[in-house]
């Protein structure tokens, strides 16, 4: 069995809820973005991002996001979402998400989002802190074997 | 055509969204509570409650809520939700909601919630302010013809 | 540490999603009904209910449901929901749900729903099948120690 | 006041629900995809797509979707979503969505989705029917002034 998430340093898992299916009897398209969001938060919890936000007021804001649906999820199933940061700029990161159906061992969806650092107190963009940047580099290094 | 909402001083309306239906092809049971919540907010917007909250930190917290499903909503439809306050105590109000299918002119669901006033800064229950109490009485008087 | 769910034969667990919190920074009131629904489905999966439905077209429909909020859930947390059937009639069951915050070991919410058996093909209520009734009795007996 | 939706043949409107805001006190990122979905359905209702689906079993499936967030929506507001088809291929259409805050007369978000026609009975892609294609052309012609 191939590990479809081998390239992802952080993996978030959740059960598909029956009520997440829509009238076409597949998990509704917007729910994948909830899975992606929960997986991003799970990644962020392994960095100082959320703790820093409480002190500095600088936190993430979603700039844009995309999803390519590949295989429709249905209940019952367990979805495993891999997350990795594929790019870091001064004030933003690009995050890749891959959602895998545990029952079928197939990629259900993939998507990329751009997260901008935002100073919620001063209402403008902000730079990634050096500690956040280092934490992301450490997480990603584990996977790339550096 | 009987007016199923004649007894309600405030009516909130929204279209049923296709994505609110679940795999049984009816609007999912939790969505009715979203309709009720939106309708309560619409009621509160016609009182000083939300403006007072910004100043005093005293706002509503939901203590309990109930829903009796009568007729399953489906897309496309428009739901009209009547709201009225049926009881006011020192620190809480009882709110009745009735959701009506506009397409079928039938009661889709009814439910009652208890909303407690809560001082979010001091973390304990609070009394309804006299201005809030008076505003609710005025709204309800219109319907009861007083 | 008291086991707040000792009386429940079936326990469903899920992580609180960040996006389930609302502007008051607590898990939104309607989400508790999603937790209850997922927990009921988890209970039903341990009975022949869903398999029977595919053959006979007789499945569950929610008649009414209630929730009493006790302690506000926030992210991050894990919610454990106990489910038990407290009453069985000819064509309906009463289901009790208790949601517990794993982080705080406190009851977050409790609620009771009435689920009616419904013949989706003939469009009327139906009786619980003897096999379903027996399966529920077996599940409940484990807890009551019979 | 510029009409930000002048280029869109179909416009869907809905009120922002209070409960659609998340802990950052903005409408949560996944909700924009619900607005887009409801707006697409509203567009489809002005074509024979949904009626054809009941007869032929050929209906829409979402292949991919994107959203670029521009201005955060908050409650209370009314969102107006313009929809237009920007491309039609043999078996798919590209749909552009623009969500506008009515309160601020600003673009809140824009996004593009690819919808594939899918034969749900035979489980493979299908061509757009000539009547559907003609209906879309008629809708789009109104705006482009052809």
Does residue B106 carry a pLDDT above 60? yes
B80 near B5, Cβ under 8 Å?
A: yes
Contacts of B55 (CB under 8 A, 6+ apart): none
- Residue A87 sits at φ, ψ, to 5 deg, of -160, 140
Question: Cβ C75–A41 below 8 Å, yes or no?
Answer: yes
Q: Please give the average per-residue pLDDT across C71-96, as a whole number.
A: 98
Contact between residue B76 and residue D45 where contact means Cβ atoms under 8 Å apart = yes
Which run of H or E residues covers position C52? helix C49-56
Q: Which residues contact C66 (CB under 8 A, 6 or more apart)?
A: B64, B65, B66, B67, C111, C112, C113
All structural domains of chain A with their residue ranges? 10-144
Q: CA C75 to CA C18: how far, in whole Å?
A: 5
| Residue range B131-140: mean pLDDT, rounded | 97
Residues contacting A134, CB < 8 A, separation 6+: none
Answer whether residue D1 shows pLDDT above 60: no
pLDDT digits (tens, 9 = 90+) for D9-25: 999 999 999 999 999 99
Q: Distance of CA B116 to CAs B119, B133, C25, D25, Å?
A: 10, 13, 17, 22
State pLDDT tens for residues A104-128: 999 999 999 999 999 999 999 999 9
For B62, residues 6+ apart whose C-beta sits below 8 A from its C-beta are: B113, B114, B115, B116, C29, C69
| Secondary-structure percent of chain D, ordered helix, strand, coil, rounded to 5 | 25, 40, 35
The confidence band for C70, taking pLDDT boundaries of 50, 70 and 90, is very high
Contacts with A141 (C-beta within 8 Å, 6 or more apart), sequence order: none
In the prediction, which pLDDT does A1 show? 52
- The reported pLDDT for the residue numbered B70 is 98
D145 Cβ contact list (under 8 Å, min separation 6): none
From D22's Cα to the closest Cα of chain C, the distance in A is: 4
Q: Is the dihedral of CA D50, D54, D58, D63 positive or negative?
A: positive
Q: Where on the phi/psi map is residue A57: left (φ > 0), alpha (ψ -120 to 50), or beta? A: left
Which residue among C30, C63, C68 places its CB closest to the CB of B37? C30
How far does C36 lie from chain B, in Å, by closest CA? Answer: 10
Note if the bond before C41 is cis, omega within 30 degrees.
no
Rounded Cα–Cα distance for residues D38 and B19 (Å): 7
Question: What pLDDT, in 10s, does the model give residues A59-95?
Answer: 999 999 999 999 999 999 999 999 999 999 999 999 9
User: Which chains touch D (3+ CB pairs under 8 A)?
Assistant: A, B, C
Which residues on A lie below 8 Å from C41 (Cβ)? 18, 75
- For D124, other C-beta atoms within 10 Å of its C-beta total 9
Average pLDDT, chain A: 95
Size of interface C-D (CB pairs under 8 A): 23
Other CB atoms closer than 10 Å to residue C74's CB: what's the count?
18
Is D62 at the interface with chain A, CB within 8 A?
yes
The answer to whether the beta carbons of residues C82 and C140 sit under 8 Å apart is: no
- Per-residue confidence (pLDDT) for residue B143, from 0 to 100: 79
Q: Are C4 and C105 in contact (CB under 8 A)?
A: yes
The reported pLDDT for the residue numbered B22 is: 98
A76 interface with B at CB cutoff 8 Å: no
A52 touches chain C (CB under 8 A): no
pLDDT at D134: 97
pLDDT number for residue A43 = 98
Nearest CA of chain B to the CA of C145: how many Å?
32
Per DSSP bridges, beta strands B58-69 and B10-15 are unpaired
- Tell me what ipTM this predicted complex has: 0.95
8 Å CB contact between A108 and A100: yes
The C-alpha atoms of residue C51 and residue B145 are separated, in whole angstroms, by: 54
B75 chain-A contacts, CB cut-off 8 A? 23
Write the burial class of residue A22 (CB in 10 Å: 0-12 exposed, 13-18 middle, 19+ buried). Answer: buried
Of A22, A29, A30, the CB nearest to B22: A22
* Backbone CA torsion sign across A41, A44, A46, A48: negative
For residue B1, what pLDDT is reported? 52
CA–CA distance, D55 with C65 (Å, rounded to integer): 37
Classified as helix, coil or strand, B24 is coil
B52-98 per-position pLDDT tens digit: 999 999 999 999 999 999 999 999 999 999 999 999 999 999 999 99
Contact call for C19 and D28, based on CB within 8 A: yes
**Per-residue confidence at D143, pLDDT binned at 50, 70, 90?**
confident
Spatial distance between the Cα atoms of B40 and B95, rounded to a whole number of angstroms: 8
pLDDT for the residue numbered A142: 81
| C92, C61 Cβ separation under 8 angstroms | no
Asked whether the beta carbons of D135 and D47 are under 8 A apart, the reply is yes
pLDDT confidence of D100, banded at 50, 70, 90? very high
Residue D114 scores a pLDDT above 90? yes
Distance from CA of A20 to the nearest CA of B (A): 7
Interface of A with B in 3-22 (CB under 8 A): 18-19, 21-22
With contact defined as beta carbons under 8 Å apart, do A79 and A73 qualify?
yes
The shortest CB-CB distance from B19 to any of D17, D19, D37 is to D37
Question: Hey, of C16, C22, C26, C34, which one would you mutate to test binding to chain D, going by the most D CBs within 10 A of its CB?
Answer: C22
Cα–Cα distance, A106 to D99 (Å, whole number) = 33
Neighbours of chain A (3+ CB pairs under 8 A): B, C, D
What is the CATH architecture assignment of C10-144?
Roll (3.10)
User: With 80 as the cut, is the pLDDT of residue C82 above it?
Assistant: yes
Per-residue model confidence (pLDDT) at position A2: 67
Q: Is D109 left (phi over 0), alpha (psi -120 to 50) or beta?
A: beta
């Amino acid at each position: 069995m191939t590990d479809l998430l081998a390239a992802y340093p952080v993996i978030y898992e959740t059960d598909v809820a029956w009520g997440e299916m829509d009238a076409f009897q597949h998990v509704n398209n917007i729910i994948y973005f909830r899975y992606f969001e929960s997986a991003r938060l799970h990644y962020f919890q392994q960095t100082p991002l959320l703790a820093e936000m409480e002190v500095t007021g600088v936190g993430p804001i979603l700039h844009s996001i995309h999803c390519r649906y590949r295989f429709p999820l249905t209940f019952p199933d367990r979805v495993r979402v891999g997350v990795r940061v594929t790019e870091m700029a001064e004030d933003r990161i690009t995050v890749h998400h891959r959602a895998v159906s545990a029952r079928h061992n197939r990629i259900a969806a993939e998507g990329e989002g751009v997260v901008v650092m935002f100073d919620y107190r001063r209402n403008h963009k902000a730079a990634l802190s050096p500690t956040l940047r280092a934490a992301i580099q450490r997480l990603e290094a584990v996977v790339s074997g550096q």
